[in-house]
Amino acid sequence: MKLKICGMKLNMTEVAQLRPDYLGFIFWEPSSRFFEGKIPELPNSISKVGVFVDANIDYVISMVNEHQLQGLQLHGHETPEYCIKIAAELKKLNHKVDIIKVFSIKEEFDFDVLTPYENVCNYFLFDTKGKLPGGNGYTFNWSVLKKYSSTKPFFLSGGIGLNNLEKINEFAKTPESKYCYAIDVNSSFEIEPGLKNIKELQKFKEAL
């Protein structure tokens, strides 16, 4: 499984030295991890993902251009039509950008809602349903994914930390993990919002 570390803000260079597959930068102003400034030069093996919540399309494209983002994580109530418009704008750029559509889960989920998004995004991301659009610090019931009927690869997110390694190992043995493409971590590896615990991340990455 690949690893995405989200909520990058303060110690980006140190996190990048761990060589995760993805780093996530939040472009949603109410977030305590809202990213402003310049992303440092990163290894080519790391994809930069911008996280947006119901953002204006012009703003999204401007951030893609400014930071050379390779992925867009849509964490709000973006419609399939919105995703189509984003894809059309991205096509005009000479720069490959994946669209990751987020869906929040708690105890149950109607996977039929994914159908209109099948052909308009590259990945799904399943996160914990909470007060905020992410970074709530606790996991959802992964057994819900037994009903996952798509073949689209997905990111698994929501409060994942070192204490979930055994759970991830058990999940990896299940049929529902077949299309789990990456593990997404954030708040469980923080000293404070946006400041990551490097030692714990290193342990997690090695174990993963």
Series of mean pLDDT values for 10-residue runs along the chain (208 residues): 95 95 96 94 95 97 96 96 95 90 89 95 89 61 90 94 91 92 93 94 92
Q: Tokens at residue 73, please?
A: 């994580």
Sketch the domain layout of the chain as residue ranges.
2-207
Give the pLDDT confidence score for residue 138 in this predicted structure: 65
| Beta carbons within 10 angstroms of residue 141's beta carbon | 12
What is the pLDDT at residue 174?
A: 92
Quote the CA–CA distance of 140 and 160 in Å, as a whole number: 10
pTM of the model: 0.92
Of 13, 11, 36, 9, residue with least CA distance to 24:
9
How far apart (Å, rounded) are the C-alpha atoms in residues 164 and 151? Answer: 25
Give 43's contacts (C-beta < 8 A, 6+ positions apart).
Answer: 16, 19
Number of Cβ atoms within 10 Å of the Cβ of 187: 21
Output the pLDDT for position 145.
92
Q: Domain 2-207 in CATH: superfamily?
A: Aldolase class I (3.20.20.70)
What whole-number distance in Å separates Cα of residue 142 and Cα of residue 188?
Answer: 17
**What pLDDT digit, counting tens, does each position of 101-146 carry?**
999 988 889 999 999 999 999 999 999 876 665 454 568 889 899 9
Task: Name the DSSP class of 34.
Answer: B
End-to-end CA distance of the chain: 7
Burial class (CB in 10 A: 0-12, 13-18, 19+), 146: exposed
Give me the pLDDT at residue 93, please. Answer: 85
- Model pLDDT, residue 130: 60
Give the model's pLDDT for residue 133: 56
Residue 154 has what pLDDT? 97
